[in-house]
C-alpha cells in the first residue's frame, strides 16, 4: 500500500507506540558517485535514469511519511554513493529540516558541491558528515568549503580514511581547520594486522580520541544497542531493519508494521566496526561523548 493512500487517522494509529524520539538511517537505491576513490567498497556504479527516478520517488515518500509523524525524528542519510549531487537529496534535506519535529537531518557527503543551496536549510537542524578524499580534491578546495560551512554556522564534522599514505595529509587537514571543527578518522578497512604500529595509533588518536573504537571495537555479540529500539535503518522500499548490518527485517515503515517489533535487543553480530553502528552501543561511551551529535559524528563540547 502506498503511504499517500493511508488516511491521516489510520497512519497515526499505525505508528502508535513509537518512542518519543526516533533516529532513522536512510539508505535508498542511489549508488553512484562523482568521485572514484581507490578504497571505495561501493560507488563504482552508474545509476540509470530509471534508478534515479525511483530513488527520488522513494525519497519523496519518506519525506511525506516524516512530515506526518508526531514523534521527534533525527535522520541520517547514508547513501552508497554521493547524494548531494542529486537535487532530490538537497530538496529532501531542506524540507525535512524545516519540520518542527525534526531535530536533526544529516548526510554523509564528500562535500563536492557548491554551497549556495545552503541558503535554504534550517541551520538549527541541518548537519553534514564530510569526508575528505585526498586523491579526488585538493586540500585547499576542501578546506575552503569547510570554512564556508563554518561561516554559515552549519554543524558538521570532517574526517578521512586513515591510510598509511595519508598520515601527513591527515595532520595537514587538522592544521588547516579551525580547532573547533571536529575531526574523525576511520581505520582502513583492508588493513593487515600490523598495518598500524603503536606510534601510528598514538598519532591518529591525537587527532581523533575515539579512533581506537574504529581500529579495534570491542566484540559486539550480545552487547546492548539502541538500534531496533530508538534507532532504525530504512531502505528505499520502506523496509525497516535495526541497523544497516543486521539483515533481519522488522517490518515496513509505510504500513507501520515495524512499530510492534521495537524494543531493546542485544546485538546478534560478532563485530560492529562502523561508526554509524557502534555509536549506538549502550555499553560504549558514545551517548555521553557525542550527546546530540551521534548521527553527524560531532562530539559534545
Ligand atoms: S566519495 Fe565516497 S562514495 Fe564516492 S568514491 Fe569516494 S569513498 Fe566512494
Ligand atoms: S552493535 Fe552494530 S551490528 Fe550490532 S545491532 Fe548495534 S549497530 Fe547493529
Predicted local confidence at residue 187, as pLDDT: 98
Compute CA distances 284 → 22, 210, 269, whole Å.
20, 11, 16
Nearest atom in ligand 1 to the alpha carbon of residue 79 is: 3
Whether ligand 2 lies within 6 angstroms of the CB of 284 is answered as no
Looking at the CA of residue 268, tell me the nearest atom of ligand 2: 4
Q: Cα Rg for the chain, rounded, in angstroms? A: 19
Q: Is 246 in the pocket of ligand 2 (CB under 6 A)?
A: yes
- Going by alpha carbons, the residue nearest to atom 8 of ligand 1 is 40
Residue 129: φ, ψ to 5°: -105, 105
User: CA-to-CA distance for 79 and 77, rounded, in angstroms?
Assistant: 6
Q: Which of the 8 DSSP states describes residue 38?
A: T
Q: Tell whether ligand 1 has an atom less than 6 A from the beta carbon of residue 137.
A: no
Please report whether residue 225 resides in a domain.
yes
Answer whether residue 251 shows pLDDT above 70: yes
The mean pLDDT of 243-269, rounded to a whole number, is 97
**Measured between alpha carbons, how far is 211 from 297 in angstroms, rounded to an integer?**
12
- Looking at residue 18, its pLDDT comes to 83
Number of residues that make up the chain: 301
Spatial distance between the Cα atoms of 244 and 226, rounded to a whole number of angstroms: 13
pLDDT at 298 over 90: yes
- Is pLDDT at 85 greater than 80 in this prediction? yes
DSSP for residue 81: S
Grid cell, residue 100, equals 518542527
The phi-psi region of residue 151 (left if phi > 0; otherwise alpha if psi is between -120 and 50; otherwise beta) is alpha
In a domain, 97, yes or no: yes
The chain-wide mean pLDDT, for the chain, equals 94
290: pLDDT strictly greater than 50? yes
Residues 221, 107, 109: CA angle, nearest 5 degrees: 105
- Ligand 2 contacts CB of residue 267 (under 6 A): yes
Query: How far is Cα 95 from Cα 201, in angstroms, rounded to an integer?
Result: 41
Average pLDDT of the segment spanning 269-278 = 98
Q: Is 294 part of a structural domain of the chain?
A: no
Neighbours of 242 (CB within 10 A): 26
Q: Is 85 in the pocket of ligand 1 (CB under 6 A)?
A: no
208 alpha-carbon distance from chain centroid:
18
**Helix or strand or coil: residue 284?**
coil
Residue 298 lies in a domain: no
Is a pLDDT exceeding 70 seen at residue 3?
Answer: no
Report if residue 81 sits inside a domain.
yes
Q: What is the pLDDT of residue 2?
A: 44
Centre of ligand 1 from the C-alpha of residue 1, in Å: 34
Buried residues in 73-108 as b, exposed as e (16+ CB within 10 A):
bbbbbbbbbbbbbbebbbbbbbbbbbbeebbbbbbb
Q: How many CB atoms lie within 10 A of CB 10?
A: 11
Structural domain total, the chain: 1
Question: From the CA of 194, how far away is ligand 1's center (Å)?
Answer: 25
**Can you tell me which atom of ligand 2 is nearest the CA of 243?**
8
The predicted pLDDT at position 4 comes to: 44
Q: Is the pLDDT of residue 43 over 70?
A: no
Cell numbers given for 239: 523496509
| 87 — pLDDT class (breaks 50, 70, 90) | very high
What pLDDT score does 7 carry? 52
Strand partners, 234: 26, 240
What does the pLDDT read at residue 272?
98
Cβ neighbours of residue 164 closer than 8 Å, sequence gap 6 or more: 188, 195, 196, 200
CATH number at residue 258: 3.20.20
189 pocket-lining for ligand 1 (C-beta < 6 Å): no
Does residue 231 line the site of ligand 2, with CB under 6 A?
no
What is the distance between the alpha carbons of residues 257 and 285, in angstroms, rounded to a whole number? 32
Which tens digit of pLDDT belongs to each residue from 205-228? Answer: 999 999 999 999 999 999 999 999
Section 49-63 average pLDDT? 98
- In 3D, which of 154, 57, 159, 15 has the Cα closest to residue 97? 154
Predicted confidence (pLDDT) per residue in 184-196, tens digit: 999 999 999 999 9
Q: What is the pLDDT of residues 110-124, one digit of tens each?
A: 999 899 999 999 999
* CB neighbour list of residue 132: distance below 8 Å, 6 or more residues apart: 111, 139, 142, 158, 159, 160, 173
| Phi and psi, residue 217, nearest 5° | -65, 140
Is the model's pLDDT at 1 over the cut of 90? Answer: no
| Closest atom, ligand 1, to C-alpha of 36 | 5
Residue 222 lies in a domain: yes
Assess if residue 221 is contained within a domain.
yes
Ligand 1 centre and the CA of 202: distance in Å?
A: 27
The domain containing residue 136 runs over which residues? 3-289
- Indicate the SS3 state at residue 103: strand
Which pLDDT score is estimated for 160? 98
CB 17 within 8 Å of CB 262 = yes
pLDDT, one tens digit per residue, over 118-152 is 999 999 999 999 999 999 999 999 999 999 999 99
Q: Please report whether residue 300 resides in a domain.
A: no
Tell me what pLDDT residue 301 has.
84
Q: How confident is the model at residue 13 (pLDDT cuts 50, 70, 90)?
A: very low
Amino acid at each position: 500500500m502506498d503511504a499517500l493512500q493511508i488516511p491521516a487517522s489510520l497512519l497515526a494509529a499505525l505508528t502508535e507506540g513509537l518512542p518519543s524520539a526516533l533516529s532513522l538511517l536512510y539508505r535508498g537505491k542511489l549508488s553512484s558517485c562523482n568521485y572514484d576513490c581507490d578504497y571505495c567498497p561501493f560507488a563504482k556504479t552508474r545509476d540509470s535514469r530509471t534508478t534515479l527516478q525511483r530513488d527520488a520517488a522513494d525519497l519523496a515518500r519518506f519525506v511525506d511519511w516524516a512530515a506526518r509523524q508526531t514523534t521527534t525524528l533525527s535522520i541520517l542519510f547514508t547513501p552508497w554513493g554521493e547524494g548531494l549531487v542529486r537535487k532530490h537529496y538537497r530538496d529532501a534535506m531542506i524540507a525535512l529540516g524545516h519540520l518542527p519535529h525534526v531535530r536533526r537531518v544529516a548526510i554523509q557527503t564528500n562535500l563536492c558541491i557548491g554551497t549556495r543551496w545552503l541558503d535554504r536549510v534550517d541551520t538549527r537542524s541541518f548537519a553534514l558528515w564530510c569526508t575528505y578524499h585526498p586523491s579526488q580534491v585538493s586540500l585547499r578546495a576542501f578546506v575552503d568549503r569547510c570554512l564556508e560551512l563554518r561561516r554559515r554556522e552549519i554543524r558538521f564534522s570532517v574526517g578521512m580514511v586513515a591510510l598509511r599514505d595519508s598520515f601527513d595529509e591527515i595532520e595537514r587537514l587538522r592544521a588547516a581547520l579551525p580547532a573547533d571543527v571536529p575531526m574523525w578518522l576511520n581505520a582502513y578497512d583492508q588493513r593487515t594486522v600490523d598495518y598500524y604500529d603503536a606510534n601510528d595509533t598514538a598519532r591518529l588518536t591525537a587527532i581523533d580520541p575515539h579512533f581506537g573504537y574504529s581500529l579495534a571495537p570491542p566484540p559486539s555479540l550480545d552487547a546492548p544497542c539502541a538500534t531496533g529500539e530508538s534507532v532504525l535503518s530504512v531502505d528505499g522500499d520502506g523496509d525497516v531493519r535495526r541497523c544497516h548490518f543486521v539483515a533481519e527485517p522488522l517490518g515496513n515503515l509505510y504500513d507501520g508494521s515495524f512499530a510492534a517489533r521495537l524494543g531493546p535487543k542485544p546485538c546478534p553480530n560478532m563485530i560492529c566496526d562502523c561508526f554509524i553502528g557502534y555509536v549506538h552501543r549502550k555499553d560504549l561511551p558514545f551517548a555521553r561523548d557525542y550527546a546530540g551529535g551521534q548521527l553527524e559524528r560531532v562530539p559534545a563540547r
